[in-house]
Structure 1
Amino acid sequence: MTDLQTLYKAKIDANTLRTDPAQEAVLPEFDRIGTALKAPPVKRGLFRRNTPSPAPKGLYLWGGVGRGKSMLMDLFVDSLGGIPARRVHFHAFMQEIHAKMHEARQNNIEDALAPVAKEVAQSVRLLAFDEMQITDITDAMIVGRLFEALFAAGVTVITTSNRVPDDLYKDGLNRQLFLPFIDLIKDKMEVWEMISPTDYRQDRLTGSDVYFTPINATTRQQLSDIWSDLSGGPAEPLILEVKGREVTLPAFRNGVARASFFDLCGKMLGPGDYLAVADAVKVLILEDIPQLSRSNFNEAKRFVTLIDALYEAKVRLICSAAAAPEFLYVEGDGAFEFERTASRLREMQDRDWGRL
């Protein structure tokens, strides 16, 4: 295992990163955690079993988007070698917890959270969550007990977030029941604000096209290159649960999602589903938008609804399409109304658009 400061310097020297004082300032916090995790077990005497060294205090790293929080966390997790650790998007992790709790209830386990928390705690010494945000009341009501169990079992937690802890689940239903979790975060994790004037995610798109037409091998490769640059590593599907239904984004990492037109508009999805997508992602790479007409009227209507949701939420859209926005839908019912969508697609191509 190599300390993060050494790895970071090596990337600077190799010109794969550039010096950033805000990033450099937090490196000792990661190294504090890494040093404690690799410490040898505490010796308890000749006839007593050695026990793991005490779990180090975790890290709650928050700040504006595109500042490199996820990149540093990923670099740290990759540096841990054989130490059991898992890096996962917070929303995806909570979906797993709910699914496992449902399974426990099916097996008539009264306290469904207890065995689930125990299973997680036995599998890792470090959990690294990307983008902690809590907007769902079901998450809010169980996350306190879940984290209490993880901390009690000696699991160290690192998380990135765009929000200070005091703003988690802000204005949520029954928020007073959630407040002890905020106190738990402050007690068990070092809260660190990353303040940097540089938005690297926005910088990577500055001067880049975000609307690619026509659909061919060249534009597909261009989208793939943007995806590789923005995602920064291997992705996982993101499954959003909306009123008992599942909405799947096939690839998701670091706030960036990748899906095809069929994935989001070729299925029976509605406004609530698209609002959930817009809430969950900062950048959507949408591939293979076809020519729209009366022959795929339902898909076109869903596409209009999707664009409205992304537009209102200021989500950055990067896409490939069969034609320029004004020529995507030129005949059939709804062609006139599509003019507003075409205008929004044009506006969303502006370099300053979105909440990257």
Structure 2
Amino acid sequence: MTRIQDTYRTRVADGSLHADEAQQAVLPEFDRICEEVSRPAKKGLFRKAPPPPKGLYLWGGVGRGKSMLMDLFVDHLTVPARRVHFHAFMQEIHAAMHLNRQAGVEDALAPVANDVAASVKVLAFDEMQITDITDAMIVGRLFEILFAKGVVVVTTSNRVPDDLYKNGLNRQLFLPFIEIIKDQMVVWEMISPRDYRQDRLKGAPVYFSPINDASRQKIREVWEHLSGGESEKLVLKVKGRDVELPEFRNGVARASFYDLCGKMLGAGDYLAIAEAVKVLILENVPRLGRTNFNEAKRFVTLIDALYEAKVRLICSAADEPESLYIEGEGVFEFERTASRLREMQSEDWAAED
């Protein structure tokens, strides 16, 4: 079996990766898991199956290469595995539990967890974070079942485990899950001075106007560059409602103005989006005014949420920020939004302090 460390060195040598000490330091952990899950189980009437290897909880700042390392890891696995964004996975769990309840199943969670455990040996999650109480109340028992069935979990996160669901409602009921993580997974902080996602955008325009074939092509190129041409739909559960991002990959989301501002969304929805994504590509922002006043108000709220959360915005719009909203009620208030849109275009705006 080719080790991940060897593949990493090969890619550094051919120039497709930059050598990074923080990334290299965690590679033995990935290799350990690959090797241990690939070992054939010793069979025999009185032989007890060995315990599964500890998983990995890899956390650190955005843009440090955690998702890239996860790609390498999954590519090297020779056992049934699934890579999925944590939010999307939890949505699937809730949907399957709902079907069980409708069918009269008393314990709606156990058969769902058992089905997951029967289908994979390794679960690889992007961006574990818990913001919804419905997730917080079931995730502990869900993972208890998965670990008991021998599933190995590897996840990335921007937060240390102790900060998951921080200040959440009934958080004391969630705390045992944090102890499960510490018991079943190696917790590894990846500290790197480089933000590779920012590096990929360095010097590149992030605001395109007017909307035409040229700007559409530029947006497509940025998306391909950041996503690698792969994506999945991400559905966020906010107070029982679904908030949908049509395309998502490695912390980068792509949506149209009408996907996010043409629907009845509010501040809580935009805060959830800002929590879930690190880069948002927002397309086709029209001129704003009396004819689309409600959409304009939502756009202002969205930009405020992205600004406060330091989410990198890549945008195509009908005009420059100062000329987007030129008539009707709200022109004066939009001046702050225009200023923020202009500030968010600066090269180092979203860089961490």
* TM-score, length-scaled by structure 1: 0.94
The CA distance in 1 between the partners of 2:293 and 2:165, in whole Å, is: 38
Asked if the contact 1:135/1:169 (under 8 Å) is kept, the reply is yes
Asked if the contact 2:288/2:324 (under 8 Å) is kept, the reply is yes
1:315 pairs with 2:300: no
The CA distance in 2 between the partners of 1:355 and 1:181, in whole Å, is: 32
Deviation at 1:30, TM superposition (A): 0.6
The one of 294, 299, 308 aligned to 1:298: 294
Match of 1:256 in 2: 252
Deviation at 1:193, TM superposition (A): 1.1
Superposed CA offset, 1:129-171 (max 9, x none): 1111112222111111111100110100000111111221222
Asked if the contact 2:11/2:17 (under 8 Å) is kept, the reply is yes
The one of 70, 74, 83 aligned to 2:71: 74
The CA distance in 2 between the partners of 1:269 and 1:177, in whole Å, is: 30
The alignment partner of 1:23 has SS state of helix
Superposed CA offset, 1:86-108 (max 9, x none): 01111111111111111111111
Q: Which runs of 5+ in 2 are unaligned?
A: none
One-letter code aligned to 2:343: E
Deviation at 1:252, TM superposition (A): 1.0
Deviation at 1:272, TM superposition (A): 2.2
Deviation at 1:43, TM superposition (A): 2.5
Match of 1:217 in 2: 213
Deviation at 1:51, TM superposition (A): 8.3
The one of 115, 126, 139 aligned to 1:119: 115
Superposed CA offset, 1:25-52 (max 9, x none): 11111111111121122131xxx49987
Asked if the contact 2:132/2:237 (under 8 Å) is kept, the reply is no
Deviation at 1:15, TM superposition (A): 0.8
The CA distance in 2 between the partners of 1:183 and 1:247, in whole Å, is: 30
Q: Which deviates further from its counterpart, 117-126 or 273-282?
A: 273-282
One-letter code aligned to 1:90: F
The CA distance in 1 between the partners of 2:255 and 2:293, in whole Å, is: 20
Asked if the contact 1:278/1:310 (under 8 Å) is kept, the reply is yes
Q: Structure 2 matches for 1:48-127, cutoff 5 A?
A: 48=45, 54-81=51-78, 83-127=79-123
Q: Which deviates further from its counterpart, 22-31 or 265-274?
A: 265-274
Change (3 A) 1:203 1:242: same
One-letter code aligned to 2:30: F
Asked if the contact 2:62/2:278 (under 8 Å) is kept, the reply is no
Change (3 A) 1:220 1:18: same
Q: Structure 2 matches for 1:174-253, cutoff 5 A?
A: 174-232=170-228, 234-253=230-249
Q: Which runs of 5+ in 1 are unaligned?
A: none
The CA distance in 2 between the partners of 1:347 and 1:2, in whole Å, is: 46
Deviation at 1:75, TM superposition (A): 1.3
Asked if the contact 2:223/2:229 (under 8 Å) is kept, the reply is no
Superposed CA offset, 1:71-123 (max 9, x none): 10111102224x11001111111111111111111111111110110011001
Q: Which deviates further from its counterpart, 123-132 or 303-312?
A: 303-312
Match of 1:343 in 2: 339
Asked if the contact 1:316/1:355 (under 8 Å) is kept, the reply is no
Deviation at 1:53, TM superposition (A): 5.8
The CA distance in 2 between the partners of 1:70 and 1:233, in whole Å, is: 15
The CA distance in 1 between the partners of 2:213 and 2:10, in whole Å, is: 36
Q: Aligned-pair RMSD on alpha carbons?
A: 1.8
Match of 1:35 in 2: 35
The CA distance in 2 between the partners of 1:234 and 1:173, in whole Å, is: 35
1:163 pairs with 2:175: no
Asked if the contact 1:282/1:355 (under 8 Å) is kept, the reply is no
Match of 1:5 in 2: 5
Q: Which deviates further from its counterpart, 4-13 or 23-32?
A: 4-13
Match of 1:14 in 2: 14
The CA distance in 2 between the partners of 1:175 and 1:145, in whole Å, is: 15
